[in-house]
Structure 1
């Protein structure tokens, strides 16, 4: 049976024909519905939901007859919280209405304020519409076309981890039950095995299904085993880590003609790649998901000649001496490079509560786990953390979960979270911030069902029902593979530039700003001591390290 098309609801009391004409180009893939008022649009949305359909977007004129448009969006969101919300203001009132409406963008009351097209082929308008629909499709809708198909009887920890990896890599995927028609067909093509097949079974783009026992196996299946890839020459730059810093370094180094290799043990994008929506990144006025930002940067670097090796874990670095290249040790062989950029970023700090750790992947997640967000519909969930990543995760989860509680040990989130996120959270009725609180216990029958929360002021503990616990607890460096010659601070972050103690300087001057204590080895992004821990800052450091690499490779320039 063909699934019903998702709906776009046009709320146009004064210019219905103009707006309907513009959205005619979407009629093949979306059901275009019209309404003339807030009440009528709310009823249309309720009718779609009652028949099991989805509303992808509300498009409203800036002036409605029965409510302020921002209040209208609030009402519609209570019916369909996942829909994107767009104001298309008529040219005659666009400038007049803008001052009173634009402030609502900062609080997340709607997603875009656009000028209603005045003629044909207004591609700027439709670019914004397509971006919003693309974001909706990647986070809400079940993909119509899949790159990877999985077969699993239940959404266990491994299946969810595999899906999260695929989502972060921008690869549409679906899970099928073993007794479904598709599931039976995929399992039937497995290589014979003793007993029942183990799950999950993964069928990638080559059409050959395999049983997997780890996310790394999936990465190798799609991108190649480490032993299948040979780097038989000395490259100019080897970048370890494909987060924002590593990706920026790859783009700039390869675009300037340096032979560049990037090694990433997990998904491209790093911690930033798990962010559902980054709204304060330069050049993206409507925001951009971490996945899309990472995949665009990856494609940009590939265009300039960068080679990406996904699923490679770097286990050691042997510094070159007397002009010899550095050697990176990996699971599948060695990579020799004239210079190395360490951009491995950070990992989320563990909560270290045994009962919580036992349920990781079974309702407990480190990071925003965008894939898991879709599984929280109708549940009460908890986000632990007071940084921007926690705020972004809470806002995304609120599209699905019945309620979202942000727990922080501090007495406020204003000191650690960007103002735009604080404002958006305060406006969202599904999100509550609970200060001076910490999770001390958790439990459930096979998966998370409850958490115990302690008030750090009084010491009292309260048990509450919880269908999902998302832990975004701050940063721990990911550089245990580095040799002792690379000096780090007391917390394990790599020291660079003037932060390097004078006794480790080579001569009377400190290393260059992003240079480590090993000549030819540089550090950029969150792994570096004193870094800002922001996506834009990491990208900037990744770009800034390339001139230093040039200076090292060609000291006469």
Structure 2
């Protein structure tokens, strides 16, 4: 197999030779350095590389180039090699443009010219790029294929699982000629759908999450039986705990039942997260956090359903649905919350077939020229409305209350008011969903006008309420009346510590009623339901884990 490629793109011949020389000096034994004089030439070269099946590890592009600047080039290069890491070469005067590229185009780094000495200013950046590329793997060389029915809940689940785990795939509707050819080659019948075909030709019929994860290279099995820290749940709080735990030397494993990112990972754009003035998608933020955790040595396990938690002496044991278990000195619970089910006639039977919970971004291309309905008044609903407004003809937000003011951030309300094809309908609820194979109509009740109407639509996205995922915890873990886990001062009532508490101290701030089991993020009672606070609690939980371990 040929060496992976480091590409440089610069229209200044002297600069191009200089950066290529410095790269060959440090990386020439392990990488092939390819240089291009313009964005157009570089794209032609990337297309040839793609056809040969070679891998591109990193691309360094100059910002100021004629015809096509570095940002435009990198944006197109991402379509060919999404796993390649990207850096922008820029002068000091263009620093603002470089920062914008990091936020908008997901550029990984920017380098100021000149970069002398390269040992201090060039190589550390390129080291980070190639390390991140190695950790993620270049999945773009192969292609996972999914064949299914357009309006099929199992087919949607396969597509959604791959998308949320950042696994590139190509979708084929069962009625396409190429889909028929693939099914014939795989010797599959209609009853086998959905069918997943991996790049090496492995065929999965009606696959479940663990089968898919194993087939596409996601980790599902722990490397050890005992750790310093187990993090249960891979949302922002869990990822924060994994990053800080692993970076501080704790043997850390993060266990996620479906895909890292949680509800935040499904957000099309988070605009009030510190450090991203132009916003960042939940998928981008999740991908960066996951790579960061793995860079520090944390294991990340997907499709592992946690069914129990037990204290055995000084060990804290986490049990899985298949009967296996792992143990650690401490545990951080960050299982987040899930959207509540919409209690309206016909909704349950059409879930995954036009009715979706959360922002199902895989459905966006099919919303063109459609009227999309969104139920909910919190930030997640508003972010979804803004996202789908770019694809759909119209978007209606259905809100039970009198306005969005009480539940949605002000900046998001202003955005929605400025978008012409988004309409907010207050005091309106869904009474019934109609359809045979898929959603076709909704019956809406407008309490403000005292009217009931039936409207045509093929897409309903639901963002109502939040239910904590704590049903698997035993009675030893105290929760409030809504199922959220109580921690710290909330466990001490009239000076009395929780039942069974055997330590000569009160529970630490994020500690549950089991010593050494900490709670972070939305699943914690009285927590602030924001991404930034969840990440902060994940980091804080690790600090308290250290305090717990030192005091034992």
TM-score computed with the length of structure 1 as normaliser: 0.73
Distance 1:511 1:466, change over 3 A: same
2:435 corresponds to which of 444, 448, 460: 444
Alignment of 1:85-484 (within 5 A): 122=94, 125=97, 128-129=100-101, 132-133=104-105, 147-178=143-174, 182-184=178-180, 186-190=182-186, 196=190, 198-223=192-217, 226=220, 229-321=221-313, 323-331=314-322, 333-457=324-448, 459-484=450-475
Give the equivalent residue in structure 2 for 1:514: 510
Cα offset, 1:399, TM superposition: 0.6
User: 3-state SS of the aligned residue for 1:405?
Assistant: strand
Gaps of 5+ in 1: 1-22, 31-83, 85-116, 136-142
CA distance in 1, matches of 2:532, 2:205: 39
Question: How far apart are residue 327 of structure 1 and its match?
Answer: 3.6
Distance across 2 between alignment mates of 1:196 and 1:390? 36
Q: 1:308 to 1:255 in 2, by over 3 A?
A: same
2:39 corresponds to 1:25: yes
CA distance in 1 between partners of 2:292 and 2:214 (Å): 22
Query: How far off its partner does 1:434 sit?
Result: 0.8
Number of equivalences: 437
1:511, distance to aligned residue in structure 2 (A): 1.2
Bigger Cα displacement from structure 2, 152-161 vs 467-476? 152-161
Q: Tell which deviates more after alignment, 175-184 or 119-128.
A: 119-128
CA distance in 1, matches of 2:423, 2:175: 41
Q: Return the TM-score normalized by structure 2.
A: 0.73
Q: Is the 8 A contact 2:149 2:173 kept in 1?
A: yes
- CA-to-aligned-CA distance 1:430-463 (integer Å, 9 cap, x gap): 1011111111111023111111111234543121
8 Å Cα contact 1:145-1:172 kept in structure 2: no
Q: How far apart, in 2, do the equivalents of 1:477 and 1:331 lie? A: 22
Cα distance in 1 between the residues matched to 2:106 and 2:145 = 20
| Equivalent position of 2:51 in the other structure | none
CA distance in 1, matches of 2:270, 2:211: 30
Could you tell me how far 1:312 is from its partner in structure 2? 0.4
Partner residue in 2 for 1:80: none
**Alignment RMSD, CA only?**
2.8
Of 474, 477, 486, the residue aligned with 2:477 is 486
Once residues 432 and 508 of structure 1 are traced to their aligned partners in structure 2, the CA distance between those partners, rounded to angstroms, is 57
1:409 and 1:508, CA in 2 relative to 1: closer, same or farther beyond 3 A? farther
1:230 is displaced (CA, Å) by 4.5
Which blocks of at least 5 consecutive residues in structure 2 are unaligned? 1-36, 45-71, 73-88, 108-138
Q: How far 1:183 sits from its partner (Å)?
A: 3.4
Tell me if the contact between 1:252 and 1:543 (Cα under 8 Å) persists in the aligned partners. Answer: yes
SS at match of 1:438: strand
Q: Deviations over 1:9-63 (max 9, x none)?
A: xxxxxxxxxxxxxx96367659xxxxxxxxxxxxxxxxxxxxxxxxxxxxxxxxx
Q: Aligned equivalents of 2:100 and 2:298: distance in 1?
A: 30
Residue pair 1:220, 1:311 contacting (<8 A) in 2 also: no
